[in-house]
Chain A
Amino acid sequence: MKDIYRGSLVRLAVESPETMAKTYIKWDRDTEFHRLADSAPPQLWSEKKLKDFVEKGQEKQGERNFRFSIRTLADDKLIGSTGLWLLRETQGDAWLGIFLGEREYWGKGYGTDAMRLIVGYGFGELNLRRITLGLHAYNERALKSYQKVGFQLEGRARGEGMRDGVRYDGLYMGILREEWLKLNK
């Protein structure tokens, strides 16, 4: 069996809450990063609050959420995080989240490589039927990456968010198990 945690540029791992909190706090000061990844207004969490949040998440790991850190293969640098959250346990549908906090790794294939790992984990290990994700329409880099992996655009919530006084759409994408298997025969 192949190593499902290992891609061509990155691997999926887990961090101690201390390491994750320290690193994430640095990333989340970057409001461009935050506004690409999240629709909630940026808040500047304390290191303690964030550490508790990561700890709580790890306690629940494996019930409904399956969360990983992303590390580079070349120098084992922590560059982001990804995960799957079961939407309805009995329906085999999960929500996918991913971000790369380290800007110098944007647009170079690291995110797409991590996407292939987490989607592969969802279908190969969690036996999902489909995977769902959402993004802001202005996040063109994410859209291209998700399309590369095989996600189809399933719709657009008109004017779902507003930033800097500008309304933008929310995009929703999905990939079905049979589509993924066909692409990865």
Chain B
Amino acid sequence: MLSLQTQLFEEKDVIFGPIDYETHPAVESKWTHDAEFMRLMEIKPIRPLSVEMVKKSYESIEKEMDEDKNLYYFAIHARQNNQFIGKAMIEWIDWAHGNGFLRLGIGEAEHRRKGYGSQALKMLLRFAFNELNLYRVTAVVPAYNEGAMKLFQKFGFIEEVRRRKAICRDNEFWDLVSFGLLNAEWREQVSGQE
């Protein structure tokens, strides 16, 4: 059913916002100095980023959104005080086949484990399936990121691909796990909740 009154960028405790070149780069630069967080977010080698480097990365994100049109990026803010606490995106969208990849993280340590990631994922899925009309979404998670594995399972994602020993960190080998959720599966869940 069409429900135009639903605010797609608002949930109970968090909201989505655009990139803010004034305030976000300094905050995100701080997150990139948190090695534990970065190793949960990234499978490529991590390194701390300066404020300038983060600004540059925002420019390339906006360029990709404009020119390639296969990326939707959202800044996650706490509703209460509008603090910038994380980021969420749908990337590598393949329009011909209706696929997209999801990525999200709460960078502010004191805002983790409060269900904010869950609310951001709820918005991301609603956007992917109700607005972009994707057929399916994928999330790729290194097996050591148990929090993310649990989050995607909670939302009904099915483990589809397990790339054996694809990631080596601290001389330990980890599988790279892909989770998939179909539009039809999500729709069934959501209709059950209403």
Contacts and interface: CB of A to CB of B under 8 A. Distances in A.
Contacts, number: 68
Contacts of B162: 154-155
B22 to A, nearest CB: 33
Nearest to B175: A154
Contact of B161 (A41, A156, A162): A156
Given A90-B45, A162-B135, A130 B180 contact: no
Given A40-B96, A41-B96, A159 B166 contact: no
Chain B: number of interface residues, binned into ranges = 20 to 34
A112 interface: no
B161 A154 contact: yes
A150 interface: no
B98 A39 contact: no
A162 B96 CA distance: 8
A158 interface: yes
- Secondary structure at the B interface, as helix, strand, loop or mixed, is strand
Contacts of B98: 162
Contacts of B159: 155
Interface in B94-129: 94, 96-99
B164 interface: yes
A161 B99 CA distance: 8
Interface string B126-141: 0000000001101000
B167 A91 contact: yes
Interface string B10-52: 0000000000000000000000000000000001110000000
Query: Which range contains the number of A residues in contact with the other chain?
Result: 20 to 34
A161 B136 CA distance: 10
Given A40-B96, A162-B97, A172-B161, A157 B178 contact: yes
A39 B178 CA distance: 19
A162 B95 CA distance: 11
A92 to B, nearest CB: 8
Contact of A157 (B161, B164, B165, B168): B161
Given A91-B166, A129-B168, A132-B163, A157 B97 contact: no
21 contacts: A39-B94, A41-B96, A88-B43, A88-B44, A91-B43, A93-B163, A93-B166, A129-B168, A154-B162, A154-B164, A155-B178, A156-B161, A158-B136, A158-B160, A159-B135, A159-B136, A161-B97, A162-B97, A172-B161, A174-B164, A176-B165
By Cβ-Cβ distance, the 8 closest A-B pairs, closest first, are A155-B161, A161-B97, A172-B161, A155-B160, A90-B45, A157-B160, A41-B96, A93-B166
Interface of A: 39-41, 88, 90-93, 129-130, 132, 152, 154-162, 167, 172, 174, 176
